[in-house]
Amino acid sequence: MSTQAHSLAAAALATAIMLGALSGCGKTETPAALLAEAKQFQQKGDHVSALIQLKNAVAQNPSDPEARLTLGETYNKLGDAVSAEKEVRKAMELGMAPQRTLPELLLAQLLQGQFQKVIDATADNAYTADVKVVSQRGAAFYQLGKRAEAAEAFERALKLDPGYPVALMGLANIAMANEDKAGAARYVELAVTKNPKDIQSWLFKGDFERAQGNPAAALAAYDQVLALDPNSASGHLQKAYLFIAERRYDEAAVSLAAAKKNAPKNLMVSYASAMLAFTQGKHAAALDSLQQVLRVAPDHMPSVLLAGAVQFTLKSLPQAEQHLKKYHEAHPESDYARKLLASTRIAAGDPKGAIAVLAPVVGASQDAQLLAIAGKAYTDHREFGKATELLERASALDPKKAQLRTALGLSKLEQGEEARALSELELASTLDQTTSHAGTTLAMTALRLNQFDKALAALAPLEARTPGDPMIQNLKGLALLGKKDLAAARAAFEKALALHPDFFPAVDNLARMDMQAKNLDATRQRYEAFVAKYPNNVEALTALGAMAVAQRRLAEAGTLLERANAVDPAAVGPAIVLAGHYVRMGAADKALILMRKLLVANPDNPAVLDQLGQLQVATGDNGSAMETFTKLTVAAPQSAEAHFRLGSAHAAMNNLPSASASLKRALVLQPDYLDAQLALASAHLRQQQFNDALGVARAMQKQHPKLPVGYVAEADVLLVQNKPGAAIPLYDKAFSLGNNAELLIKLYEALRIGGKAKEADARVQQWRAAHPDDVKVPGYLGEQYISNKKYQLAITEFEAILKKSPGYPSALNNLAVAYELAGDARALPTAELAFKALPGSAAVMDTLGWLLVQKGDLARGLPLLRDASARLPGVPEIRLHLAKALIQAKEKEAARKELEVLLEKHKQFPQLEEARGLLKQL
């Protein structure tokens, strides 16, 4: 808590102490005797015992206004302002004069931060002669930032009582706010000189001395408080604050325990407990204490600020934003809050929001840390020139700060200034003689730039300084690997493992070396040995699972990846790998369930949102995908890929203007983003905006002259414009650059459209002769033959594929379809083989299910078609098969619903008229 906040709380409490006039007599059980005994306890400073007696008195006589008011006073002294207000208001209802009740009510409201209520309650002139009320009005004005009105009120109070401590402390606060330290010191000394036995004056003096960097003088003042009243919760509390600041945590805990004993419901004790826990790194405990304060006093700004800091540390960024924004709006002068709010927004992927909060002060700021945070925000916003300017200013203010040099170096790297980047990182490494951060950043940057000798030079002093650090050895191994010194690299990785046998990155690098040496058995054995020793290592399980996928050991891969996910269900990387495996196995529904669970644990994670959205697209649920990708652009507003995904989802929903807008945003963020350029060219093409589409295609050619994509994009436009003659040379150029099956297929199609069927067939035959193991071109030709009702030719193609790749699922499925259309009895057994090879594939389920239904086996066929339609709800042919099967099963109402959904969602598909006819029949 700031000195000003402490001082104002002290000033408010002082008003209660001024109410004096306590007396008592012998002990008895009558309400009057209990009240008298309570006042005796108060005189001794034992407010807890006084509280007990007052509660007994009120229990016996609930209508005693004096007991109610005294109970309210006691609650205020113990810091329980909510209970104090309740009791004072009851005293008022029972007829207690306002001159008695108002000061205590105002004190309770001050302690709850209800400053405007205090001003409103004292707006008339009825209490201008009451020094307590006038001073409380001044305190409320001060807390609302109205210094002139506050000063006027305090001066008026001093005219009524020249030594009144609350007014003197209020004027000291104003002098401090006006940077008049000498004036503040005079008022502080006047307060303790004129009121040597006033606890609040000594508390205020302690706070003042602490703010001036005089901890010994502050401690002496707090000790004077406790000499006057050993049970003073405030005295113990302020000593705790001082000890926390000096990292004397054990002494702070002792002082806090004493404060809590004397004032168990004092909110400031809970706040101080939170501060102690936070400084000790006990963030959950800190948050628990702060919630106790904020439940009762949601506008206690020091607690709001500390809650923001705790939530930021816990990475609960939305909650941190909420608290810090509230504090920043109330106290825009606080650079600490401003910096923390900006850092929160950066961490949440909102650098634009961080820039907005820093912009009002960054121009004239001389705060190196603030400038560094601004530099980070501009870096993340991809404004590298501005980022570099700010980081250079920060480094000039604090030239020996290694972190600033590191940030500046990384900013230069993003600008492509590699030499300057390395220079700054080298300087950072030289300055940082206590940690490895700057040196490892330099080494990793040098590795990224393939400057392996520089990386080794950066690592040498780190290795000498921290010989037991496996990460240093791992980086050293990577640098040696880059230099092709395989033996030395292997030795470095093995040393990392000798230092820490559970350091998986070194195992992974050794396994990759084995893999590059084509020793796959050694790779597998290395991973398996590590997993045997550390069976719950998620990275190792995932790596071994990924290797099993690559080697087509799919069942084993699934087991391993599911084990990794079971160990840490919230881990993003392993879950995404598992989802990819499910998709490859044709179980997109399982992948969707997995991603939805992962999203619950990681609601704002861009990678999770991206994967979920892609799965929704793959299963035909484009509406949900659009929702997901919209959330992705909120979670990662500066991600070009996020806007590309959203644009693609809009395009799938035929929202082409929206698609174009999102894709253009992606290209603003990353002008050479090929996928976004291709998608934008396609969106223009679908809207018949041919010149715009050609402009995008030619921009790609200019940016990437050695890549085929730009030429393909231009050729696609020309083909739609029925200009195959102009398109063919562009496809040919693209094929010469890319030389792959997909490009050959495009060229083949253009040649046939352009009337050059013989040349098209010749090009295909050349390809097949040069690539006898290729399955993509034969698969494409087989599908074309099916479309053209040349079923025997299709059968020949798919059978040839299966001779090269037995058990190839898509070829088996397509062959079953071709057999069915050709009236070949082998259709059903072939579909059974496809289902055995890929049991989770909706396409395979549809083929087998439909064949079974046609054979009259509804018991097996109908469930398969239901499952296929559930997995791929966006494929009209599957839904039509299901509807026809339901009709055959005499489930007419269910069939009607399927056909209605089909015709509502799909306005164009080959079997449209058939579907309409079936619906009319029902």
- Tens-place pLDDT, residues 196-213: 998 889 988 988 888 888
| Structural Rg of the chain based on CA atoms | 38
- Closest CA relative to residue 589, chosen from 902, 880, 868: 868
78: in domain? yes
Q: How far apart are CA 63 and CA 791, in angstroms?
A: 100
Q: Containing domain of residue 82, as a range?
A: 38-112
Residue type present at position 81 = A
Please name the residues in contact with 264: beta carbons below 8 A apart, sequence gap of 6 or more. Answer: 48, 78
Q: Give the whole-number percent of the chain exceeding pLDDT 90.
A: 43
Answer whether residue 392 shows pLDDT above 90.
Answer: no
Q: What is the pLDDT of residues 44-78, one digit of tens each?
A: 666 667 788 888 888 888 888 888 988 888 887 77
Give the CATH number of the domain where residue 53 resides. Answer: 1.25.40.10
Has residue 101 got a pLDDT over 50?
Answer: yes
pLDDT of 796 reads 96
CA 363 to chain CA mean position, Å: 29
* Domain presence at residue 92: yes
Query: Which residue's entry shows tokens 């509280």?
Result: 51
Give the integer Cα–Cα distance in Å for 874 and 871: 9
User: What per-residue confidence (pLDDT) applies to 437?
Assistant: 62
Give alpha helix (H) positions in 246-334: 249-262, 267-279, 283-296, 301-313, 317-330
SS (H, E, C) 39-59: HHHHHCCCHHHHHHHHHHHHH
Give the C-alpha separation, 142 to 177, whole Å: 10
For residue 421, name the pLDDT band (cuts at 50, 70, 90).
low
Higher-scoring residue by pLDDT: 1, 301: 301
6 falls in which pLDDT band (50, 70, 90)?
very low
Distance separating alpha carbons of residues 297 and 305, to the nearest angstrom: 13
Would you place residue 20 in the very low, low, confident or very high pLDDT band (cuts 50, 70, 90)? very low
297: alpha, beta or left? (left if phi > 0; alpha if psi -120 to 50): beta
Residue 252, SS3?
Answer: helix
Helices 709-720, 690-703: axis angle to 10 degrees equals 160
Angstrom distances, CA of residue 863 to CA of 846, 873, 887: 10, 15, 14
Tokens 């929702």, located at residue: 627
* pLDDT of 219 higher than 60: yes
Would you give the DSSP letter of residue 233? H
Q: CB neighbours (10 Å) of residue 537?
A: 18
Q: How high is the pLDDT of residue 405? A: 61
* 845 in any annotated domain: no
Average pLDDT, the chain: 86
Q: How far apart are CA 14 and CA 172, in angstroms?
A: 15
Residue 407 confidence (pLDDT) above 70: no
The tokens describing 493, both together, are 């990785």
Evaluate whether 644 touches 666 at the Cβ level (below 8 Å).
Answer: yes
Please, are residues 879 and 902 in contact by the beta-carbon 8 Å criterion?
A: yes
8 Å CB contact between 115 and 143: yes
Q: What is the mean pLDDT of residues 889-906?
A: 92
Distance CA 379, CA 635 (A): 17
Looking at residue 429, its pLDDT comes to 60
Closest CA to 642 of 651, 655, 654, 629: 629
Looking at the chain, the whole-number percentage of residues with pLDDT higher than 70 is: 90
**What's CA 163's distance to the chain center, in Å?**
54
- Compute the average pLDDT of residues 292-320: 85
Contact 284, 311 (CB under 8 A): no
The residue behind tokens 């009451």 is: 130
pLDDT at residue 592, rounded to an integer: 92
Per-residue pLDDT, averaged over 727-756, amounts to 94
Query: Per-residue pLDDT for 907 more than 50?
Result: yes
What pLDDT, in 10s, does the model give residues 560-570?
999 999 999 98
pTM for this predicted structure: 0.55
Residue 96 inside a domain? The answer is: yes
Q: How many domains does the chain have?
A: 1
Q: Does residue 309 lie in a domain region?
A: no
Q: Which residues of 403-414 are buried (b: 16+ CB within 10 A; e: fewer)?
A: bbbbbbbbbbbe
Average pLDDT over residues 156-181: 90
Determine the pLDDT at residue 752: 94
Examine the pLDDT at 11 and tell me if it is beyond 50: no
Question: Model confidence over 364-383: pLDDT tens digits?
Answer: 888 878 887 888 888 777 77
CA dist 696 and 711 (Å) reads: 11
pLDDT band at 7 (very low <50, low <70, confident <90, very high): very low
Higher pLDDT, 866 or 80: 866
Residue 59 lies in a domain: yes
What is the CB neighbour count within 10 angstroms for residue 455?
26
Alpha-carbon gap, residue 631 to 603, rounded angstroms: 10
* pLDDT for residue 8: 35
Q: Helices 741-753 and 757-770, interaxial angle, to 10°?
A: 160
Q: What pLDDT was estimated at residue 235?
A: 87
Please name the residue that has the structure tokens 């991809």. Answer: 382
Are 435 and 406 in contact, with CB atoms under 8 Å apart? no
Q: How confident is the model at residue 176 (pLDDT cuts 50, 70, 90)?
A: confident
Confidence band of 425 (pLDDT split at 50, 70, 90)? low
What does the pLDDT look like over 221-233, one tens digit per residue? 999 989 998 888 8
Q: Which of 332-346, 640-654, 715-729, 792-806 has the lowest mean pLDDT?
A: 332-346
What average pLDDT does this structure show over 184-206? Answer: 90
| 386 SS3 class | helix
pLDDT score of 454 more than 90: no
Q: Is 627 exposed, middle or buried, given 0-12, 13-18 or 19+ CB atoms closer than 10 A?
A: middle
pLDDT over 50 at 508, yes or no: yes
What number of other Cβ atoms are within 10 A of residue 402's Cβ?
22
Q: How confident is the model at residue 432 (pLDDT cuts 50, 70, 90)?
A: low
Whether residue 448 has pLDDT greater than 80: no
Q: Give a yes or no: residue 786 inside a domain.
A: no
In the DSSP assignment, the letter for residue 825 is T
Distance in angstroms (rounded) separating the CA atoms of residues 431 and 532: 43
* pLDDT(766) > 70: yes
Mean pLDDT of 111-119: 88
Highest mean pLDDT among 34-38, 134-138, 454-458, 695-699: 695-699
Q: Which residues are within 8 A (CB) of 95 and not within 5 positions of it... i.e. 6 or more apart?
A: 65
16 pLDDT band (50/70/90 cuts)? Answer: very low
pLDDT (mean) for 155-179: 90
In a domain, 88, yes or no: yes
The runs of H, that is alpha helices, within 61-128 are: 65-77, 81-93, 98-111, 115-121
Residue 529 has a CB neighbour count (10 Å cut-off) of 12
User: Is 343:373 a contact under the CB 8 Å cutoff?
Assistant: yes
Q: Kindly indicate the confidence band of residue 23, based on its pLDDT and cuts at 50, 70 and 90.
A: very low
Tokens of 89: 């208001």
Q: Is the pLDDT of residue 418 over 70?
A: no
